[in-house]
Structure 1
Amino acid sequence: MTFDTGARLKAEREARKLSQRQLAALAGVTAAMISMIEQNRTSPSIGTLKKILSGLNMPLSAFFAEDEPAATKWHFTHEEFREITPPGGSADPKISFLRVGHTTDSALLVLYEHYKPGADTGPDLYSHESEEAGVVVEGQIELTVGTETRLLKTGDGYHFNSRQPHRFRNPGPGDCVIVSGCTPPTF
């Protein structure tokens, strides 16, 4: 099943009775950008999609969530992780975000993140109303938080207030895998 980012964005915008221009003003992007995404003529970067969803007061995980039953299951195989990567690869097909568990009634979002060499969450730093932490379980990642950039390697971790603008980039040469958590689940 293919996720239709444009149709979902349009449905969420219309459910809130917003025009494309109104949403653009709330999100700090152009109405043309909203239009192009809704027509699936472009795939937004993670930062751009998060800006747009902030205008809808909606976390990224909820945008990609399908209707789920109440969370009664507590264990999950890797195959049961739910893809929440924006289709088109968040404008970077080298990035994959898999959600562990349910979004229903949860105050915590756990992600299995995969960054191929050269993967980048975008040239613009992004932020969200949350706190996040993670551990690099394979490879290395360049993490920028505010004005500070660090190269984290296997076994290294991070913990910061996600309201601070941040960005993830894999300088290579190999893949990077991170297991992270975010609370509340606003990503």
Structure 2
Amino acid sequence: MSDLDQLTQSLARNLKRWRSERGFTLDALAARAGVSRGMIIQIEQARTNPSVGTTVKIADALGVSIATLLDHEQGPQVRIVPESQAVRMWSTPAGSRTTLLVGGEARGPVELWSWTLEPGEGNASDPHPPGTVELLHVTAGELTLVVDGAPHPVPAGASAAFEANVPHAYRNDGPDPVELIMSVSIPPGR
């Protein structure tokens, strides 16, 4: 597949996904973006390569960056944030501090969880509704995060973000207990 074909397929897939997650009809997105309904249909069917200007208008109307709209990664995205890349927001000489561990773009209900997994144990989850995002931070041990069949090691001190609309699981394949905190952001019902 050529780079242009891959870009066309990525744009088609991502436009459908983001339009669906935002709950926009073809007509609603066309009105918001100032492009024709027919152009959006052609893009979603991977039958055209729109101009940069049209692509920017659509990205703006969806509230996503053009990079997000053109992202060609296949499958669910998992982002592991090593402890060294967490962002220290502020600290005091006495030791008070805040650290942004990981973030993501989401809307709707949010849940906060505390997990402990003993060695050899795990928990599998069915796919959540499209648009559901999970953020987690491992405080002890090493978690094996499995997203759509792909394992991702997340050591103590690291964080991860992933789209949870595919099968996923949490495993402790190591000799020590795993402790983590997790936030689940669920899109609002339509």
TM range (shorter): 0.3 to 0.5
Which structure shows the bigger proportion of residues in strand conformation?
2
TM-score normalised to the size of structure 2?
0.38
Structure that is richer in helix per residue:
2
Find the structure with the greater CA-based Rg.
2
